Amino acid sequence: MAHGVEDSHTPTFMSVGLYYFIAFAGAVVVLSLVQQRRRQSLLPPGPPGDPVIGHLLRMPSTDSALVFHQWSRTYGPLMHLKVLGRSMIILDTYQAAVDLLDKKGLIYSDRPKFTLYELLGWNSYLAFLRYGKQFNIHRQMHQAYLSRHKVEDFKAMQTQEARMLVRNLMESAPERYEKFVSRFATGIITQIVAGHQITSDTDSYLHMSNMIYEVMAKTGPPGSSPLDFFPLLQHFPPWFPGAKHMGVVRAWRSSIRELYEFPLRTVKQQQAAGEAMPSFILEQLEQMKEGEDMEELKAAAATMFGAGEATTWSTLCIFILAMILHPECQDKAHKEIDAVIGNLRLPEFGDRSGLPFVEGILQETLRWQPAVPLGIPHCAVEDDIYHGMLIPKGSLVFSNIKAIALDESVYSNPTSFYPERYLPKPAGKGEPNFNNVAFGFGRRICTGQYLADNSLWIAIVSILATCRITNMMDESGKIIVPESSLTDGLSSHPRDTRCIISPRSADAEALIMEANI
Ligand code: HEM
């Protein structure tokens, strides 16, 4: 072979490099496949999914929390689902929720990006904020005004509102009961947030709360819209498969913005006229400096409305449903109230510790049909290992509150409504109260829990002390027994609460009608 002429079989520097590169790339691919396999094998168990789309087509269209709980019976307390490449982890037991969301708050306090809620204009609602500086500001504002200590100041107002609720129920036709319960829930929030008392059906705040209920009912559990998994769908018309929630966005977005603007605008006008009542907004305005940005305050106030009304309203409607179905519980509550309070006065907060059965009714209402059955998803900010299982960074982590309520190892006969279960043994079963579950977990636990607890208790005890809730009859005189099923939304609501609410006695009626409200 002549010098300087390359043998075509001798590898050149370039081709050697190419071999090395191909070998290296191959090794990387193999290694990442091995690693992916290993990660897959570490994921919590879950039902089989489809290629690429995962469990998208298998997601339940109703009763998601219950369906997930049924699946968890096969796959265990930590279940993994995947939708369009995104991991979802469903926590089926109290222990798993506490171990992850409470004890590992640094990892599990974020929220995922909720594309649907962003499109609706709810992106700066505390409940949907990512974990960070803005979250800390909003959370601090809420906690300071709704702390266990501060909510003591609202008890007198809540008692008044509860008595007004009972008077309205006694005087109104059955088809208006739910409206008055909603007015009670909204009325408490408007007084706290804006110092505004609702006195008529045409109140602007009632109109706004109806809008929120409607939007919540039409958009399913949080984080479950196809838009959340596939944001490109926002560019498609509502008739396009998966894009139906764009119809809700288009119809309601501008009205939702009004919930941000209206409360602050009105309180500022009242403040200028020297007529503003004490409220969250007024207190914040008084602490703010001239020219300070108002957006955070608007969002924090709007969140209180959004998060506080529908949940309280739905829980009280669940109580009414439970009472229709369980007259024996009403009888026991009546006996307890008569023995402790008598029939010469109405209940007050000071009576609470003396009424353990009524307390059981409240706890059982929260447990029997939780109003927020899947909580609001948390998001893992880094990979985590729990009992040898991998929870990948970015996973949506749901605490299945409904499943925890149905845990037979904690609650005997869990589907039955049985307030005695909370009484200490031997009178009851000494089972744990549910208010440490119903309001969620960790650093994202409900900021309104103490306020809500008081609103629910005073409404429930006031109704029980003065009214009897009975079945309605149809035209043929047959008793209507409502089904105990709930809608599937950010908060769930009973589908049927048809009943008759009437005064328990002439004395009870007189007490309510003569109360100084
Ligand atoms: C019966 C009534 C209520 C129930 C059952 C309820 C339940 C819940 C649940 C389950 C969560 C999710 C917690 C988590 O992520 O782990 C939550 C969050 C929240 N709730 Fe409530 N809630 C009620 C009433 C209220 C009220 C009256 C307010 C305020 C006035 C309120 C404000 C909030 C806020 C701001 C969040 C989000 C907290 C955050 O993301 O940091 N809630 N609630």
Tens of pLDDT, residue by residue over 57-71, are 888 888 999 999 999
In angstroms, rounded to a whole number, what is the distance separating the alpha carbons of residues 264 and 114?
Answer: 26
**Closest atom of ligand 1 to CA, residue 443:** 41
Question: Best substitution site from 367, 399, 439 to test ligand 1's pocket, by max atoms within 8 Å of Cβ?
Answer: 439
In angstroms, rounded to a whole number, what is the distance separating the alpha carbons of residues 513 and 170?
Answer: 9
Average pLDDT over residues 124-148: 96
Angle between helices 280-287 and 177-194 (to 10 degrees): 20
Angle between helices 245-272 and 295-325 (to 10 degrees): 110
In angstroms, rounded to a whole number, what is the distance separating the alpha carbons of residues 311 and 375?
Answer: 11
Dihedral (CA of 179, 181, 187, 193) sign:
negative
Give the residue, by CA position, lying nearest to ligand 1 atom 16: 440
Average pLDDT over residues 77-99: 96
Give the pLDDT band of residue 13 (cuts 50, 70, 90).
Answer: low
pLDDT at 461 over 50: yes
pLDDT score of 158: 98
CA 514 / ligand 1 centre spacing (Å):
35
In angstroms, rounded to a whole number, what is the distance separating the alpha carbons of residues 506 and 261?
Answer: 46
- 391, 44 in Cβ contact below 8 A? yes
- 74, 44 in Cβ contact below 8 A? no
% pLDDT > 90, the chain: 77
Give the residue, by CA position, lying nearest to ligand 1 atom 19: 446
CA 189 / ligand 1 centre spacing (Å):
13
Question: Best substitution site from 124, 129, 184, 311 to test ligand 1's pocket, by max atoms within 8 Å of Cβ?
Answer: 311
Phi, psi of 385, rounded to the nearest 5 degrees:
-120, 130
In angstroms, rounded to a whole number, what is the distance separating the alpha carbons of residues 50 and 60?
Answer: 15
ipTM confidence = 0.99
Give the pLDDT band of residue 420 (cuts 50, 70, 90).
Answer: very high
CA 256 / ligand 1 centre spacing (Å):
19
Residues lining ligand 1, CB < 6 A?
Answer: 126-127, 139, 142, 189, 303-304, 307-308, 311-312, 315, 371-372, 375-376, 378, 399, 438-441, 444-448, 451-452
**Closest atom of ligand 1 to CA, residue 452:** 27
- Cα 325 to chain centroid, rounded: 25
- 92, 405 in Cβ contact below 8 A? no
Predicted TM-score of the model (pTM): 0.92
In angstroms, rounded to a whole number, what is the distance separating the alpha carbons of residues 456 and 61?
Answer: 30
CA 234 / ligand 1 centre spacing (Å):
28
Angle between helices 449-466 and 295-325 (to 10 degrees): 30
Instruction: Rank 253-262, 285-294, 364-373 by mean pLDDT and report only the highest.
Output: 364-373
Contact residues for 497 (Cβ-Cβ < 8 A; gap 6+): 177, 178, 317, 320, 321, 324, 482
CA 420 / ligand 1 centre spacing (Å):
26
Q: How many residues make up the chain in this entry?
A: 517
**Closest atom of ligand 1 to CA, residue 445:** 13
- 444, 111 in Cβ contact below 8 A? yes
CA 304 / ligand 1 centre spacing (Å):
9
CA 403 / ligand 1 centre spacing (Å):
18
467 labeled part of a ligand binding site: no
In angstroms, rounded to a whole number, what is the distance separating the alpha carbons of residues 124 and 223?
Answer: 16
Average pLDDT over residues 451-457: 98
- 309, 185 in Cβ contact below 8 A? yes
Contact residues for 284 (Cβ-Cβ < 8 A; gap 6+): 141, 297, 300
